[in-house]
Amino acid sequence: MRLVIARCTVDYEGRLTAHLPEAVRLVMVKADGCVAVHADGGAYKPLNWMNAPNTLREYDGLWEVTNPKGEKLVITMHEILADTTHDLGEDPGLQKDGVEAHLQELLAERPHVLEEGMELIRREYPTALGPVDMLCVDASGRTVAVEIKRRGEIDGVEQLARYVERLDLDPRLAPVRGILVAQLVSPQARTLAEARGLETREVDYDGLRQIESATPRLFEL
Amino acid sequence: MRIRAERDDLADIFSRANRAIGARTAIPVLQGLLCEVSGSNLWVTGTDHEMTVRASMEVEVMEEGRVVIPGRLLADAVRRMPAGQVTIGTSDGEVEIVGRGPRFSIRPLNTEDFPEIAESTGEGVEVDGEELAAAINQVVVAASTDTARPILTGVLFESSEEGLRLVATDSYRLAVRDLAGVGLEGTGLVPARGLRELPRTIGAAKITARLGEREAVFSSERGTLRLRLIEGSFPKYRSLVPESYPNQVIIKKEDVLEALGRVSLVAEDHIPVRLKLSDGGVDVTVTRQDVGGETEHIAGVYTGEQEEVTVAFNPRYLADGVGAVEGEDVRIQVIDGVRPSVVDGGDGSNFIYLLMPVRI
pLDDT at B119 over 80: no
The whole-angstrom separation of Cα B97 and Cα B12 is 16
Q: Are residues A102 and A48 in the same domain?
A: no
CB contact under 8 A, A172 and B272: no
Mean pLDDT of A180-204: 93
- Cis? peptide before A68, omega within 30° of 0: no
Mean pLDDT of A157-185: 92
**B172, B269, B354 ranked by CB distance to A113: nearest:** B269
Give the CATH number, domain containing residue A11: 2.70.180.20
Mean pLDDT of B19-44: 87
165-224 in chain B: CB under 8 A from chain A: 169-174
**A211, A218, A219 ranked by CB distance to B270: nearest:** A211
pLDDT at A214: 67
- For residue A151, what are the contacts with CB-CB under 8 A and spacing of at least 6? A182, A183, A184, A185, A186
In a domain, A90, yes or no: no
The whole-angstrom separation of Cα A182 and Cα A174 is 24
Mean pLDDT of B88-93: 93
CB contact under 8 A, B31 and A172: yes
The whole-angstrom separation of Cα B249 and Cα A125 is 45
Q: Are residues A71 and A6 in the same domain?
A: yes
How high does pLDDT run on average in chain B?
A: 92
CB contact under 8 A, B270 and A110: no
Mutation test of the interface with chain A: which of B106, B144, B241, B269, choosing the one with the most A Cβ atoms within 10 A? B269
Q: Are residues A75 and A128 in the same domain?
A: no
In a domain, A92, yes or no: no
The whole-angstrom separation of Cα B235 and Cα B8 is 44
Q: Are residues A105 and A208 in the same domain?
A: yes
In a domain, A91, yes or no: no
The whole-angstrom separation of Cα A190 and Cα A197 is 11
Q: Are residues A64 and A117 in the same domain?
A: no
Work out the end-to-end distance of chain A between its first and last CA atoms, rounded to an integer number of angstroms: 38
pLDDT at B147 over 90: no
Contacting residues of B for A120, CB less than 8 Å apart: 145-147
In a domain, A40, yes or no: yes
Concatenated DSSP letters of B282-309: EEEEEEETTTEEEEEEEEEEEEESSSEE
* CA nearest neighbour of B188 among B163, B170, B213: B213
Work out the end-to-end distance of chain B between its first and last CA atoms, rounded to an integer number of angstroms: 66
Q: Are residues A208 and A105 in the same domain?
A: yes
pLDDT at B192 over 70: yes
pLDDT at B54: 95
pLDDT at A109: 83
- Whether B19 and B48 have beta carbons less than 8 Å apart is answered as no
In a domain, A28, yes or no: yes
**Closest approach of A109 to chain B, Cα-based (Å):** 6
pLDDT at A123: 87
Give the CATH number, domain containing residue A170: 3.40.1350.10
Tally the domains of chain A: 2
7-66 in chain B: CB under 8 A from chain A: 21-24, 26, 31
pLDDT at A31: 86
Q: Are residues A105 and A149 in the same domain?
A: yes
Which range has the worst mean pLDDT, A160-164, B23-27, B182-186, B341-345? B23-27
Q: Looking at residue B338, what DSSP letter applies?
A: S
pLDDT at B25 over 70: no
Express each pLDDT in B254-300 by its tens digit: 999 999 999 988 886 668 899 999 999 999 999 887 788 999 999 99
Contacting residues of A for B235, CB less than 8 Å apart: 219
The whole-angstrom separation of Cα A176 and Cα A158 is 15
Question: What domain range includes position A182?
Answer: 98-214
Count of CB pairs separated by less than 8 Å, A with B: 81
> HSE on the CB side for B156, CA within 13 Å?
23
**Closest approach of A182 to chain B, Cα-based (Å):** 18
* Residue in A closest to B31 by C-alpha: A172
- How many other β-carbons are positioned within 10 Å of the β-carbon of residue B213? 8
Q: Which one of A42, A61, A85 terminates a domain?
A: A85
Mean pLDDT of B45-49: 93
pLDDT at A93: 59
In a domain, A184, yes or no: yes
The helix (run of H) or strand (run of E) holding residue B167 is strand B163-169
pLDDT at A97: 59
In a domain, A220, yes or no: no
CB contact under 8 A, B171 and A208: no
Which range has the worst mean pLDDT, A177-191, A195-209, B90-104? A195-209
CB contact under 8 A, A218 and B316: no
| Alpha-carbon torsion (B261, B263, B267, B271), positive or negative | negative
In a domain, A93, yes or no: no
Contacting residues of A for B340, CB less than 8 Å apart: 218
Mean pLDDT of B24-52: 90
Mean pLDDT of B149-154: 92
Q: Are residues A61 and A141 in the same domain?
A: no
pLDDT at A207: 76
Of how many residues is chain B composed?
A: 360
**Closest approach of B209 to chain A, Cα-based (Å):** 26
CB contact under 8 A, B270 and A217: no
CB contact under 8 A, A214 and B174: no
Express each pLDDT in A93-152 by its tens digit: 555 557 888 889 889 888 888 988 898 888 889 888 889 999 999 989 899 999 999 899
**Chain mean position to CA B32:** 23
* CA nearest neighbour of A123 among A142, A107, A141: A107
Q: How confident is the model at residue A87 (pLDDT cuts 50, 70, 90)?
A: confident
Q: Are residues A80 and A122 in the same domain?
A: no
**A113, A137, A215 ranked by CB distance to B314: nearest:** A215
How high does pLDDT run on average in chain A?
A: 88
Q: Are residues A159 and A72 in the same domain?
A: no
- Strands across the sheet containing A132-137: A119-125, A132-137, A143-152, A177-185, A199-202
pLDDT at A186: 93
CB contact under 8 A, B146 and A204: no
- Whether A38 and A25 have beta carbons less than 8 Å apart is answered as yes
Q: Are residues A81 and A129 in the same domain?
A: no
Which ipTM score applies to this complex?
0.83
**Closest approach of B356 to chain A, Cα-based (Å):** 6
Q: Which one of A25, A60, A85 terminates a domain?
A: A85
Which range has the worst mean pLDDT, A31-35, A183-187, B254-258? A31-35
The whole-angstrom separation of Cα B42 and Cα B23 is 26
pLDDT at B259: 96
> HSE on the CB side for B33, CA within 13 Å?
29
**Closest approach of A92 to chain B, Cα-based (Å):** 22
**Closest approach of A201 to chain B, Cα-based (Å):** 15
CB contact under 8 A, B358 and A207: no
**Closest approach of B331 to chain A, Cα-based (Å):** 20
Q: Are residues A171 and A107 in the same domain?
A: yes
Of chain B, the percentage scoring pLDDT greater than 90 comes to 80
The whole-angstrom separation of Cα A102 and Cα B38 is 53
* Residue in B closest to A217 by C-alpha: B172
Q: Is the pTM of this model over 0.90?
A: no
Q: What residues of A are in the B interface, CB distance below 8 Å?
A: 105, 108-113, 119-123, 125-126, 135, 137, 143, 170-173, 204, 207-208, 210-211, 214-219, 221
pLDDT at B348: 82
pLDDT at B253: 97
Q: Which one of A56, A85, A114 terminates a domain?
A: A85
